[in-house]
Structure formats: structure tokens, C-alpha cells
Amino acid sequence: MTCIFCAIVAGEAQATILYRDERVTAFRDIHPVAATHILIVPNRHIDSLNTLEDGDADLLAHMLFTARALAVQEGVAGSGYRLVFNTGADGGQTIYHLHLHLIAGKFTRFTLG
């Protein structure tokens, strides 16, 4: 298993998991850039938004709705939050397993990755 997020999904690597179902897993970022920094990932390995397929539209929507539910759970839905997909090297992507950043609260730094 070479992909760290696949290992987290499989329970083979440690993470603070906040939510999981048959399609997605959400866990806290190990290097948070703000008070709330959560990653929502598909359980199935997908490299990035670039390799997402037409049939994955429901999965993508589910990732967004999961992020919204977690924003409510974290108490930041009203105050506001940011959702980010870094894609490719110039997009700041460092882990090539699709993930949605949910970021809220006071930023401790402004760059991701």
C-alpha cells in the first residue's frame, strides 16, 4: 500500500477520523492551516480531479455534502468555511489521492501543502 490516504481509509494508518460511510472518509489534516482543517476523501483511489470520470458526479456531490455536514458539526457553517481541491503540481497537490479540504477559523498559514 503506497498511498497514505488509501492506508487511512483501510484503517492501516492512523488518523483522527470524523466521518465515514461506504463512499467517503473524513479525517483531520495532520498539519492544519486553521482551527478547523478536515480532509474528505473518496474511499476508492482516484488520483485527482483530473482523473475523475463522468460516472463520479454523484461521488463528487457526496463529498461536497459531507463537507457541509462536517461544517455544521464543527460549528462553522454560520461563520463560514473554505472548500479547496488542489489539483496537480502547480495547484499545490502533494497527495495524489483526491481530497477536499474543509478549512475554517483563524488561519495559521495561508499556503496548503
Secondary structure of residue 88 in the 3-state scheme: coil
Q: Does 29 contact ligand 5GP by CB under 6 A?
A: yes
Is the C-alpha dihedral spanning 93, 109, 83, 29 positive or negative?
A: positive
Of ligand 5GP, Zn ion, none, which one sits near residue 77, judging by CB under 5 to 8 A according to partner kind? Answer: none
Q: Does 31 contact ligand 5GP by CB under 6 A?
A: yes
Task: Please identify, using beta-carbon distances, which residue of 55 and 63 lies nearer to ligand 5GP.
Answer: 63
Q: Which of 37, 97, 99, 101 is catalytic?
A: 99
Residue 32 CB, shortest distance to ligand 5GP, in Å, is 8
Residue with cell 454523484: 58
Residue 65 CB, shortest distance to ligand 5GP, in Å, is 20
Q: How far is CA 91 from the centre of its chain?
A: 15
Cell of 78: 454560520
Distance CA 56, CA 45 (A): 12
Binding residues for ligand 5GP, per CB under 6 A? 4, 15, 27-31, 39, 86, 92-95, 112-113
